[in-house]
Amino acid sequence: MDQSERLIHPGVRQRRYVHIMVKLSACLIVKNESGILPRCLESIQSFADEIIIVDTGSTDNTVEIALRYKAKVHHFQWRNDFSAARNESLRYANGDWILYIDADEIIDEANALKIRSLINSKDIMALTVRQCIPQQCDNIATSFYSEYCRVFRRHPEIRFEGTIHEQILPSIKRLGGKILRADIIIHHWAYAFNKEKKRQRAERNLNYLLKEFEKNPDDSFTLFNLGMTYQELGNNDSAIQVYLRMLEKPTDIKNELTGQSHINLSKIYLENDNTTKAVYHAQQALLLDTNNPLSAYMLATIAVTKKQFQKAIEHLETAIKISEGETGIAPNVELNMAQIYLELGSCRYSLHDFVGAENDFLRSLAYDASATNPYILIGNSRLIRGDKRGAKDMFEQALTINPQLTEAKSGLTLCSNEKSALANE
């Protein structure tokens, strides 16, 4: 019997936290986090009854910062095992409930209120939350959402497992505890770091994952994270092998991760110009994880490479429906909607649907008014339709944003001609 359920939590009146019987301990493990720790502690100090910090060897002023926020600091000799450090933090907790959080995460007031309310429930043992992970600005995905158990009752048999990407859920499930899927969001910032920091983190993770793989070569969760790490480091051949090994075996891993594995394989195969396998894995992802719009976006991208613009339009419209929650399920990926509508309009433009294209370009501008490409494309579309005055407005708007824009200057020249060159094409 599935012990988890979906909860759409009602709004909670905003107020100061009052003294209640249920106590919450926030537990962190840290090392040299002085640059980001204050932001985290600032976000949790108002609703956590105590903050437990296990320091694994900081050489900066992390400990001093923690003490400034009245945290209880304990020292632990790092042994290349994240679960060991997490479990050490649990030893010192006195609360009825545990919230585990990292130094590069924050919880805003609205979500703090939800946590405080839900831990008063008498019939649940744990809560899952959605971790929001922002991406680099040049990524079609602006944020990823991953579901994790982060809040649970303090219990001697509830402990973390796994050297890296440690998990708490297995021990909770062995106890038969009821797990509530809550609409709580924790904001995570580490993966918005620059490429060098991400590379260093990936190289560190790879060493731990390879050791975990040696111990249990068929563990799906380890294989998934190993494939992700290989891919992040640019070792696509190894990533393919690991993903396929994971997908070939029976698994109880959630569809979200299986679907993401198919999406990642689709990306790799598309980069290698193997569109047949790219299509297959994107289609599998769409079947397995219906709240991830990236699978539809991948199919659209592949269709564009084949100049199948109508098919691309259909896939992009599917991606938009998923992204905007029209399927009735909260998406686990937020897309760059300005780029999505720009690509959708470009497909319509290629099919000479200039009115439809202009509508999509305008939607793109509604998400990002600082972009110049939509103005240029709307200007071109209006020129083709003979609307020189309207085209001129668009090119001038583009030049307002970037006075050196060659395409906009050329467009203005065409507007001043007796007959538009584009209209003659």
Structural domain of residue 348, as residue ranges? 338-424
Q: Are residues 111 and 150 in the same domain?
A: yes
Would you say the C-alpha torsion 209, 210, 215, 218 has a positive or negative sign?
Answer: positive
Q: What is the CATH number of the domain that holds 40?
A: 3.90.550.10
Q: Are residues 324 and 200 in the same domain?
A: yes
According to the per-residue pLDDT averaged within each range, which of 52-61, 207-216, 286-295 is highest?
52-61
DSSP code of residue 329: S
| Pick from 408, 327, 323: nearest CA to 367 | 323
What is the pLDDT confidence band of residue 256, given thresholds at 50, 70 and 90?
A: confident
Report the distance separating Cα 246 and Cα 243, nearest Å.
5
Give 50-97 pLDDT, tens digit per residue.
Answer: 999 999 999 999 999 999 999 999 999 999 999 999 999 999 999 999
Residue 201 to residues 193, 196, 207, 243, Cα–Cα distance (Å): 10, 9, 10, 20
Burial of 416 (0-12, 13-18, 19+ CB in 10 A): exposed
Q: Are residues 157 and 41 in the same domain?
A: yes
| Domain closes at, from 162, 192, 222 | 192
Question: Taking 80 as the threshold, does the pLDDT of residue 327 lie above it?
Answer: no
What is the pLDDT confidence band of residue 420, given thresholds at 50, 70 and 90?
A: very low
- Please give the backbone phi and psi of residue 98, each rounded to the nearest 5 degrees, phi first: -115, 135
Q: Are residues 315 and 354 in the same domain?
A: no
Percent of the chain whose pLDDT exceeds 90: 82
| Domain closes at, from 336, 360, 377 | 336
Q: Are residues 142 and 199 in the same domain?
A: no
Model confidence, pTM: 0.85
Tallying the residues shown for the chain, one arrives at 425
Question: Taking 70 as the threshold, does the pLDDT of residue 2 lie above it?
Answer: no
Contacts of 159 (CB under 8 A, 6+ apart): 83, 87, 90, 168, 171
| Domain closes at, from 138, 167, 192 | 192
Ramachandran category for residue 390: left, alpha or beta (phi over 0 → left; psi -120 to 50 → alpha): alpha
Q: Are residues 29 and 162 in the same domain?
A: yes
Structure tokens at 372: 């110049």
Q: Are residues 83 and 214 in the same domain?
A: no
Q: Are residues 206 and 271 in the same domain?
A: yes
Contacts of 146 (CB under 8 A, 6+ apart): 130, 131, 133, 256, 332
DSSP code of residue 179: E
What is the pLDDT confidence band of residue 9, given thresholds at 50, 70 and 90?
A: very low
Strand partners, 30: 55
Give 337-374 pLDDT, tens digit per residue.
Answer: 999 999 999 999 999 999 999 999 999 999 999 999 99
Estimate to the nearest angstrom the gap between the alpha carbon of 261 and the chain centroid.
Answer: 14
Q: How many domains does the chain have?
A: 3
Q: Are residues 168 and 213 in the same domain?
A: no
Question: Taking 90 as the threshold, does the pLDDT of residue 198 lie above it?
Answer: no
Q: What is the CATH number of the domain that holds 386?
A: 1.25.40.10
Instruction: Tell me what the pLDDT averaged over the chain comes to.
Output: 90
| Pick from 345, 258, 259, 331: nearest CA to 300 | 345
Tell me what pLDDT residue 1 has.
34
Among 1-10, 92-101, 378-387, 389-398, which stretch is predicted with the lowest mean pLDDT?
1-10
Q: Are residues 199 and 214 in the same domain?
A: yes
Q: Are residues 185 and 208 in the same domain?
A: no
- Segment 257-286 shows an average pLDDT of 96
Among 59-63, 323-327, 356-360, 411-415, which stretch is predicted with the lowest mean pLDDT?
323-327
Q: Are residues 23 and 151 in the same domain?
A: yes
Tell me what pLDDT residue 190 has.
62
- Segment 302-314 shows an average pLDDT of 97
